[in-house]
Structure 1
Amino acid sequence: MYDIVKMLHSYWAYLVVVMVVLATFNALIKFFGNKEFQAVDFRISLFTLIVTHIQLLIGLVLYFTSPFGFKNIQNNGMGGLDSFSRLLAVEHPFVGILAVVFITIGYSKHKKKLTSKPKFKMLSIFYTIGLLLILSRIPWNNWFNF
């Protein structure tokens, strides 16, 4: 099961990054371009929210089934983790959760705004923070090794 969940989490991450980049740049471009909020903008932001939440759920399953997640902390303690083990067991999951929280806040706040400019502003701010958090904690060494 671990191998399947790991593979799913790894490949789904590509979709997550593409969607968060797309949603972020869509919001930024339309915010600074004073464009009207349309149905396609809503769909992009909603789909981004959905794929990030699915990634979070897959990641939580992986965290508790992986020897590099919670089991690593149980076996070695926090002081026994090297930097890469700490990345996988602590930083990557914690920052991933924060990224999903920011994306969720941005999505929720944009729905309460009545005009286009504030909608794009909320999406721009919170999706950008989410994107930066995601990019900061991707284990790049593992990502490009299939």
Structure 2
Amino acid sequence: MYSTVQFIHSWWAYLVLVVLIIASINALIGYFSKKEYGANDFRISLFTLIVSHIQLLIGIVLYFVSPYFNSFSEGGMGGVMKDSTLRLYLVEHPFIMIISVVLITMGYSKHKKKLTSQPKFKTLAIFYTLALVFVLSRIPWNAWF
């Protein structure tokens, strides 16, 4: 089960990353070019929200079926924090990714309350770009290539 969930989580991450980059660039372009917020902009932001939440759910399942998870009972939190690989997979990556999904959710929710295009794009640009920076900071790059 672990290898199947890990495979899905790894490949879905590419989709999340591409969609988040597209959504961030779209929001930045929309804000700086002062274009009108339209249906495609809404779809891009909504799709980003959906794929990131699906990735979060897959990641939660992966977290608990991972062989790394047993390290908490074997070495305790101190042992996990001393090992950089365990710390990345059990603490840093999950924590930062949860924060990223929260930022995406907050940005999406806040942008819907705005009445005009500029504040909508600004809100999406801020929250989605912050989420993108956080995601890029904690991707286990050595496992990706």
TM range (shorter): over 0.9
Per-residue deviation, residues 42-89 of structure 1 (Å, max 9, x unmatched): 000000000000000000000000012x32222221211211110001
Q: For residue 61 of structure 1, what is the amino acid of its counterpart? A: V
Q: Counterparts of 1:120 and 1:132 in 2: how far apart (Å)?
A: 18
Q: TM-score, normalised by structure 2?
A: 0.96
1:34 partner SS: coil
Give aligned pairs, total: 143
Could you say which residue in structure 1 is the equivalent of 2:79? Answer: 80
Per the alignment, residue 30 of structure 1 pairs with 30
Counterpart CA distance in 1 for 2:92 and 2:116 is 37
Give the superposition deviation at 1:130: 0.5
For structure 2, the residue ranges without an aligned partner over 5 or more in a row are none
Q: CA–CA distance in 2 between the matches of 1:72 and 1:138?
A: 21
Is contact 1:72-1:89 (8 Å) kept?
no
Secondary structure of the 1:77 match is helix
Identity %: 65
The residue number in structure 2 matching 1:105 is 106
Contact 1:110 1:122 in 2 (8 A): yes
Partner of 1:52: 52
Tell which deviates more after alignment, 78-87 or 108-117: 78-87
What's the CA shift string for 1:82-118, capped at 9, x where partnerless? 1111000100000000000000000000000010000
Q: Which amino acid aligns with 2:104?
A: I
Counterpart of 2:70, as a letter, is: K
Question: Mapping of 1:1-146 within 5 angstroms?
Answer: 1-68=1-68, 70-81=69-80, 82-144=83-145
Q: 2:30 & 2:65 partners in 1: Cα distance?
A: 41
| TM-score, reference length from structure 1 | 0.96
Structure 1 unaligned segments of length 5 or more: list them. none
| Paired AA for residue 100 in structure 2 | A
